Amino acid sequence: MTINHHSRIYIAGHRGMVGSAIWRALEAKGYSNLIGKTSAELDLRNQKAVSDFFQTEKPEVVIDAAARVGGILANNEYPYPFLMENLQIQNNLIDYSLKADVKKFIFLGSSCIYPKLAPQPLKEEYLLTGPLEPTNEWYAVAKITGVKACEAIRKQFGKDYISLMPTNLYGPYDNFDLKTSHVLPAMIRKFHEAKQSTVDGRQSTVSLWGSGTPMREFLFVEDLADAVVFALENKFEDNLYNVGTGADLTIRELAELIQKTVGHAGEIIWDSSKPDGTPRKLMDVSKMEKAGWKAKVGLEEGIKRTYVWFLEHQDSFKEVKI
């Protein structure tokens, strides 16, 4: 099937950080037939609702950016919904895409699908070669199932169903709720609020989880959206591709970079009683680069752009309820 600017493209999760970035990227390139439904309009966990949607809307392309997501705390405290709801969402989307003869399906996952102690950098072939990180295995198991479902469809039916596994994402429309957010947006909010709060003329201290020694890689969400558009417009030889920058830094270095960007002058306290998570998660992105795509936005620039967005929208943030 040839994708053109009039193709009916359904973006599941189009209101989220990833989905909205993909929507903007596609609009910017002239795609004019985008389909989006809010969770109130379409409950992706509901099998019949999803079936009815496919019969009515007849999308030619499906991009699955819908998921229940969260950081270590949320994954650890609410394992069942992180497993079951993600399975329900992606199973319905993948199965009804197959039944509706959707020609191209792009499944988005996460680098957490790889074993906790897999060799670094993480290659696609390391999938299912060892135990997962216990604090987010529920989400990871669901995403692994999605990868394998797309691979099975590709193998059995020859359809162009592919999986993109991004590294840690951040950017505009991120979740800044301190109970459920990931590390980078949580730090932006913590440092900003500490900057606004003073004790005896000094800016408040910031307490951060763990030792600060784990290493992480971060991808600006607009880069991921660019990768999705690239995957949409090109036929890939394989079913699974890592999407990242290929460079990482320690959580301590990340904290110092965000602290500098925000302009916080207080002290950072590391709470070593809290878990660190996986020691290192660096993606091998050579496969994606060989296909012809590479990340463009550097971490310092991306953090600055994210902080500007945070400042513009902070009054509208709502606490996320689990």
List, as residue ranges, the binding site. Answer: 13-19, 108-111, 143, 166-169, 182, 190, 209, 216, 276
Residue 187: exposure state from Cβ atoms within 10 A (0-12, 13-18, ≥19): buried
Active site residue 139: yes
CB contact at 8 A, 242 and 288: yes
Give the torsion through C-alpha atoms of 124, 128, 133, 139, to 10 deg: 90
- DSSP per-residue string spanning 183-216: HHHHHHHHHHHHHH-EETTEEPPEEEES-S--EE
* b/e code 137-152 from CB counts within 10 Å (16+ = b): bbbbbbbbbbbebbbe
The CA distances from residue 161 to 13, 42, 94, 152, 276, in Å, are: 18, 23, 9, 9, 34
DSSP state for residue 29 in the 8-state scheme: T
Distance between CA 73 and CA 112 in Å, rounded?
A: 15
Distance between CA 288 and CA 305 in Å, rounded?
A: 25
Distance between CA 125 and CA 22 in Å, rounded?
A: 27
* Annotated catalytic residue within 96, 114, 139, 161: 139
Residues classed as catalytic: 139
